[in-house]
Amino acid sequence: MTISSRLRVILRSKSSRALTRLEDPREALDDSYEQQVRMLQQMRQGLAEVATTKKRIELQGQEMGSRYQRLADQAQEALNQGREDLARTALERRSLLESQVAALQNQYTALEHQQAQLHDNERRLAERVAAFRTEKETIKATYSASEARVRANQAAAGIGSQMSDVGINLDRAKDRVAQMQARAAATDELLSSGALSDATAAPDADLERQLSAGTTKADVDRQLQAMKNARASRPGSAPGTGPGSRGGARPQPGTDAWLSIGQGPNTP
């Protein structure tokens, strides 16, 4: 597998995991729930604003009611004092205030109706949000259990993105081992042939190796010639009857015979 192929596999695996996270239904459900909660909060804020406005109008109406009663008292007092002009002025102001109170009452009634409607909508939305939250948690739990089951099955079967990454790493390790083995074998051949020089070897070490190989060959040739001469010097010797043949009785070496190797004549 080339480097570009490995990069494509790795990028494809990472992009697949990223898309899986983006398509996670649990996150989508959480987002929908948060949106509904924000809607509920906005509705409650609107309900609070309507209630505040209604309370302000109620206080203003109470103040107007007090003034309306005070003007009636003032008109009666002015009439008692013979000040009909002051009584008329008080009654005129009282009549004007009465129309203002009527308009304020209409606003108060409209706000009261709006508050009741908002309160009803808020209650229904709160119930839907609570029901959605319960269903959301149930779906998330089911999805998590299914996801855990899939991962367990993939791990048991040796599949999945993580196991694919493991397989890719294993293939890369095998390729590296094979390359290193081939390189080691190639350098061994080059060193033995003399194409590469051993930087740690002593000077003229290559000559020493060649001379040692020649000495070993000459020694083997001498031993072979000695065996031939010894065989020819024995009268009546025939092939297969010598001491080194299968039919001859050859003494078994002792346990310490290896100590004499290389010390005596180099004969088998």
Show contacts of 17-21: CB within 8 Å, 24+ apart.
Answer: 17/161
What are the b/e assignments for 55-75, b being 16+ CB within 10 Å?
eebeeebeebeeebeebeebb
| C-beta separation of 122 from 40 below 8 A | yes
In the chain, what is the straight-line distance between the N-terminal and C-terminal CA atoms, in Å?
Answer: 55
What CATH number was assigned to the domain covering residues 40-136?
1.10.287
Q: 90: buried, middle or exposed (CB in 10 Å: 19+, 13-18, 0-12)?
A: buried
Contacts of 42 (CB under 8 A, 6+ apart): none
Identify the segments of the chain with pLDDT beneath 50.
18-19, 243-249
List Cα–Cα distances, 11 to 16, 22, 162, 221, 223, in angstroms: 8, 16, 13, 66, 69
The pLDDT, as a whole number, for residue 246 is 47
User: Residue 261: helix, strand or coil by DSSP?
Assistant: coil
Mean pLDDT of the chain: 77
| 199, 201, 206, 211: CA torsion to nearest 10 | 180
Per residue in 211-242, pLDDT (tens digit) is: 777 777 787 788 888 888 888 887 665 555 55
